Structure 1
């Protein structure tokens, strides 16, 4: 089992270090789902369709969740700003369902 932290943000890495978060591999981007295997753990802020694909492979997904106010969207946050935005780690399991037209 390998734990991956997927982020391109230095503030997230600093926040993780301050929280004592341990992981085996840091990647700035998730390029290839084939590198992940059942039992692996992925930490990050990924699109829901990618999370569903990871979960289908029996990979655990831990989301870096924030209460992000509109004025902070789209800017690079530092560790203190992440703390102020109540950064937390939450595990999600996503299941892709068949599309039913509405």
Structure 2
């Protein structure tokens, strides 16, 4: 089992280290799933369709969750700012539904 941190944000990398969260490899982008195996863990802030793909591959997903005020959207946040915004890791399980329903 490997733990991958997927983030292009240095503040997220610094926050993970500051909070004592372990990961084996940092990726700035998850280009494909070839390196991932069932039982691996991905940590990040990924789009829901990618999280569903990960679940299909038996990969666990932990989301870096926080509520960002409008004035900070699009701003590179530091580890300190993430902590002040009460960032936390939360496990999410996403199932792809019936795409013909709408």
TM-score (norm 1): 0.96
Structure 1: gaps spanning 5 or more residues:
none
The alpha carbon displacement at 1:59 in A equals 0.4
- Give runs of aligned pairs for residues 37-76 of structure 1, distance below 5 A: 37-76=37-76
CA drift at 1:68? 0.8
Q: RMSD in angstroms over aligned alpha carbons?
A: 0.7
Aligned-residue offset at 1:57: 0.9
Q: 1 CA distance for matches of 2:78 and 2:23? A: 20
5+ residue gaps, structure 2, are: none
* Whole-angstrom CA distance in 2 between matches of 1:76 and 1:33: 27
- Distance, in Å, in 1 between the alignment partners of 2:34 and 2:54 is 10
Runs of 4+ aligned structure 1 residues displaced above 2 Å come to none
SS in 2 for 1:33: coil
Counterpart CA distance in 1 for 2:49 and 2:34 is 15
Q: Would you say how many aligned residue pairs link Structure 1 and Structure 2?
A: 101
| TM-score relative to the length of structure 2 | 0.96
Where 1:5 maps in the other structure, the secondary structure is strand
